[in-house]
Structure 1
Amino acid sequence: MARNPFKFGTDLWDPTYRFETSWLISPWALFFCRALFSLYAFTTLVFVLAWQCVNDTTHCLASQEQFSYFTSLTYWGLGFYFLFAALHTFTYARTGRPLLARFPRPLQALHSAFHTTIIVYPFVVTIVYWGRLYSGTWYTTSYQGWSNISQHALNSVFAFFEIVVPRTSPPPALHMLWLIVVLALYLAVAYITKAHRGFYPYDFLNPATEGAYVAAYVFGIAVGCIVLFGVAWGLVKLRQYVTETRLGKHGKFSAADGVNRHHHDKEKPGSAGDVEQAKPLASLAP
């Protein structure tokens, strides 16, 4: 897999439906939580765009500029991830077989890679914002406080939920490559924005004011992303160990899923069920 990061694999895809089940709550409850997070994310995004169109001095130009910010792009990612995760969880809760299991292998692979970005990028956004961009002065309007808390704090709460509550296995190490590739592509977007719209989305990307520190910031964020991937991987592994090995909670399954519901007690971390999921996810795609 390391020699070919585009390989899709041929192993059985996620046989115990870890992406759609939880060790703690039922599939219907997991669906409700994911749907609620998606609704909140999209409501926030649409409200911010509308508020800026009405209240900003540049009106809808400010709304258009939102799509140049990594914060906004990752928040759209959260909204769409939880929308599709809720759909897959709903179909599993209702029929015992998620829609994801019926997808072509490339789409299953992309969902796996998408999930990895969801449990890593929000923490990058939160740390960079509060550690580097926040001025230290609290906001003077309720809108400013709410929008920044929603996009720079609740985003990590949503990501932490995906780490702790579902039964997903640790993400493949090779997904680190794709996390860095996406960051590099965003860097290109930032400089295209400067060339096309005349501004840098983030001041630390401006070589005229930051000089050689620009490279340090870019390299530091990339390294931080890799470190956060390791932290997320470790937390998922710890959750599996505590909930499945120590507490014996191997999952709450749909009433329509006769196979997993009656035989989930045979699945242990590191057993065939986990290996079958882990092998396909060793690259961007299983």
Structure 2
Amino acid sequence: MPRFDILRLLGTPPKFDLAHKYVTSPFFRSPFILAAIRLSIAVFTLVTLIVVLVWEATKLNEGGSFFSYFTFLSYIGICSYYWASGTQTLAYALKWRRSGAGVGYPLQRWPRILQALHVVLQSSVVNFPIIVTVVFWSLLSGPDTLSTTFFAYENISVHALNTVFLLIEVFLTNSPPAPWLTLVFNILFLAGYLGVAYITHATQGFYTYSFLNTSVEGAKTAAYIIGILIGEIIVFVLVRGVVVLRERWAVKSGRVMDVGSDVSSDKAASSEGLGDMDDDWEEVRMPDNYAQRSPSKHVDA
């Protein structure tokens, strides 16, 4: 009987990302372009987090509640992911420039648990921003949302551009569809946040989001929570479907190498001639006919 492997179900087989999908794009021949985009987003989100935190702490005296809001927690996730993916892509690009197609990147050599955490984080980044944006602009925004320069900067950055960053990851990269198991983790994250929200009310005396106030909303609170849960499932399925279509288009048009599912067995990977990894960068050997299948042999996501 085959051994149960939860890490494989999270998209991290023993030989991770053989086609380099997490660090390449179907549109940019050079991985340096994708690295620059990701690191630019990483810098912008970090600066935004610092500016908003400092402003709320010094001007609004609300710095103590900053980490109680799901908006900011999910934005921290975006910032963290783009720093991680940006540095991995840059490392890949530097090796790619020296050695050409077929090189690897550091995450492929790291422990599988870190690879799995990267996949789970990526899954949250392509799901939560839509939830945050829809809930804020439909339920929480008001006359003060864009009333000052700071409020406009803050709300556009964390409640609108967050979804733009999601779309960049979905459409401009070769990142594969999120494994179905990551949906369970996303739901657990949302459930865990309910604990944070009610702990905040118990310790600081306010509700982070008005619809969580059971004394005012009553049974509607449960409806809102269930609605967000259903919304997360719908968003996950839709985003995953879009990524599957984008991936099929990229393979069909020769913009990404088709090595099968990333949860395929080692034997399947070896049959494609992609099993050899060097000690330093886990270099991937391309099949003999790959140069003919791709318009540029450097686009080897």
Using the size of structure 2 for normalisation, the TM-score is 0.80
Matches within 5 A, 1:175-194: 175-194=182-201
2-structure distance, mates of 1:179, 1:28: 30
Report the Cα offset of residue 11 of structure 1.
Answer: 4.0
Q: Which amino acid letter does the alignment assign opposite residue 16 of structure 2?
A: W
Q: What is residue 16 of structure 2 aligned with on the other side? A: 13
Cα root mean square deviation, aligned: 2.4
Establish whether residue 248 from structure 1 lines up as the match of residue 251 from structure 2: no
Report the Cα offset of residue 63 of structure 1.
Answer: 1.4
Query: How many residues align structurally?
Result: 257
Q: Which amino acid letter does the alignment assign opposite residue 50 of structure 2?
A: V
Matches within 5 A, 1:1-286: 7-9=6-8, 10-25=13-28, 26-56=30-60, 59=61, 62-95=62-95, 96-135=103-142, 139-245=146-252, 247-250=253-256, 259-260=285-286, 264=290
Q: Which amino acid letter does the alignment assign opposite residue 7 of structure 2?
A: F
Report the Cα offset of residue 146 of structure 1.
Answer: 1.1
Between 1:81-90 and 1:95-104, the stretch displaced more is: 95-104
Report the Cα offset of residue 243 of structure 1.
Answer: 2.6
| Seq. identity, % | 34
> Retained in 1: the 8 A contact 2:18–2:284?
no
Report the Cα offset of residue 248 of structure 1.
Answer: 2.4
Report the Cα offset of residue 139 of structure 1.
Answer: 2.2
Aligned to 2:6, what secondary structure does the other structure show? coil
2-structure distance, mates of 1:16, 1:78: 24
Q: What is residue 261 of structure 2 aligned with on the other side? A: none
2-structure distance, mates of 1:34, 1:132: 30
Q: Which amino acid letter does the alignment assign opposite residue 255 of structure 2?
A: K
Could you give the per-residue CA deviations for residues 182-232 of structure 1, whole angstroms, max 9, x where no partner exists?
A: 100001000010111111100100100000111111110011001000111
Aligned to 1:81, what secondary structure does the other structure show? helix
> Retained in 1: the 8 A contact 2:26–2:250?
yes
2-structure distance, mates of 1:267, 1:111: 30
When residues 16 and 173 of structure 1 are mapped into structure 2, their CA distance, relative to the original with a 3 A threshold, is same
Report the Cα offset of residue 16 of structure 1.
Answer: 1.1
Q: What is residue 276 of structure 2 aligned with on the other side? A: none
Report the Cα offset of residue 77 of structure 1.
Answer: 0.7
2-structure distance, mates of 1:267, 1:188: 51
Report the Cα offset of residue 244 of structure 1.
Answer: 2.4
> Retained in 1: the 8 A contact 2:104–2:284?
no
Q: What is residue 273 of structure 2 aligned with on the other side? A: none
> Retained in 1: the 8 A contact 2:145–2:151?
no
Report the Cα offset of residue 14 of structure 1.
Answer: 1.0
Aligned to 2:285, what secondary structure does the other structure show? helix
1-structure distance, mates of 2:284, 2:128: 36
Between 1:123-132 and 1:9-18, the stretch displaced more is: 9-18
Between 1:202-211 and 1:233-242, the stretch displaced more is: 233-242
> Retained in 2: the 8 A contact 1:124–1:224?
yes
2-structure distance, mates of 1:43, 1:263: 45
1-structure distance, mates of 2:44, 2:288: 35
When residues 206 and 83 of structure 1 are mapped into structure 2, their CA distance, relative to the original with a 3 A threshold, is same
> Retained in 1: the 8 A contact 2:183–2:233?
yes
Q: Which amino acid letter does the alignment assign opposite residue 6 of structure 2?
A: K
> Retained in 2: the 8 A contact 1:119–1:159?
yes
Could you give the per-residue CA deviations for residues 137-184 of structure 1, whole angstroms, max 9, x where no partner exists?
A: 652211111110000000000011000111111111121111100100
> Retained in 2: the 8 A contact 1:16–1:260?
no
Q: Which amino acid letter does the alignment assign opposite residue 67 of structure 2?
A: F
Q: What is residue 272 of structure 1 aligned with on the other side? A: none
Bigger Cα Rg: 2
Report the Cα offset of residue 12 of structure 1.
Answer: 2.2
Q: Which runs of 5 or more residues in structure 1 are unaligned? A: 269-276, 278-286
Between 1:75-84 and 1:47-56, the stretch displaced more is: 47-56
